[in-house]
Amino acid sequence: MAKKSPSVRRAALAASTVAVLGLLTACGSDDGSAAGSPQTLSGTAAPATGDHGTDSASASASASAGGTAGDDTTATATAPSSTTTKGGATPGGGTGGGRCHTSELRATVGRNDPGAGQENFPVVLTNTSSRTCTVRGYPGAAFVDGSGKQLGPDPKRSPGTPATVTLKPGRSAWAGLTFSNPEISGAHAATPASLLVTPPDERDSLTVTWKGGQVPVSGNASSVRLTVFSAGSGV
């Protein structure tokens, strides 16, 4: 067999290197995303956000939740994370300013204010930390039964314009959770044990005992909707 010249061997080596690089580019990163494309959170649950944050958790959450203010998209809760900042510190390590983290908040559901066949509940987040922080956009939410299984589809976002709500220690912000009364709409209903609430741009959720009765889970008029956060407790 004739020996290949050095120039032919170099050309073959270059071609094989290009092929290997092409395969690596197509395969993407270890998490299965294609190289150059935005990463998304794993699984189907993600926090809802009305603002694109600057840290990796916010960026991934925004990409997964999809869209900003005014989008009729789903608002879900929650995906576990190892990047959520704990203990009341800001991402930079400070003790003041920046968004409120799940560990710094308490979630409650206020009194129903029904009207025209609609059930209207305020979902309230209260700053329990010793620093001032902010919330902006939509919460994530999911009704669950006693075993933690989600009931019904993810809530949708009502059109709205997010505004940054500054929460001093002890102050609150609220978002509206609304749905048609199942007895009037004819939707299939269930009685949740709890409501999971994820603060904007966070991944960890807060659990609130649900005392609001039946909620629509399937069929016509089964949509549950959420509004953007406003200052106060919604009463």
For the segment 45-76, what is each residue's pLDDT rounded down to a tens digit? 344 443 333 333 333 333 333 333 344 455 55
pLDDT digit string, tens, across residues 74-96: 555 543 333 333 333 333 333 45
Phi, psi of 57 (to 5 degrees): -65, -45
Give the per-residue pLDDT at 13: 47
Residue with tokens 């073959």: 12
pLDDT of residue 70: 41
Q: 107 with 206: CB under 8 angstroms?
A: yes
Instruction: Give just the sign of the alpha carbon dihedral 198, 204, 207, 210.
Output: positive
Q: For residues 210 and 35, which has the higher predicted lDDT (pLDDT)? A: 210
Contacts of 32 (CB under 8 A, 6+ apart): none
In the chain, which ranges are continuous DSSP H helix? 6-27, 56-65, 182-185
Assign 222 a pLDDT band (cuts: 50, 70, 90): confident
**Distance between CA atoms of residues 188 and 202, nearest Å:** 31
Backbone angles phi, psi at 125, to 5 degrees: -115, 130
The string of pLDDT tens digits covering residues 26-43 is 333 333 333 333 333 222
> How high is the pLDDT of residue 97?
79
Q: Is pLDDT at 103 greater than 50 in this prediction?
A: yes
The residue that leads in pLDDT, 41 or 127, is 127
Which residue's entry shows tokens 């609220």? Answer: 174
| Token pair listed for 53 | 């944050």
Q: Tell how strand 172-180 and strand 224-226 pair up.
A: antiparallel
| Predicted local distance difference test score (pLDDT) of residue 85 | 32
pLDDT at 55: 35
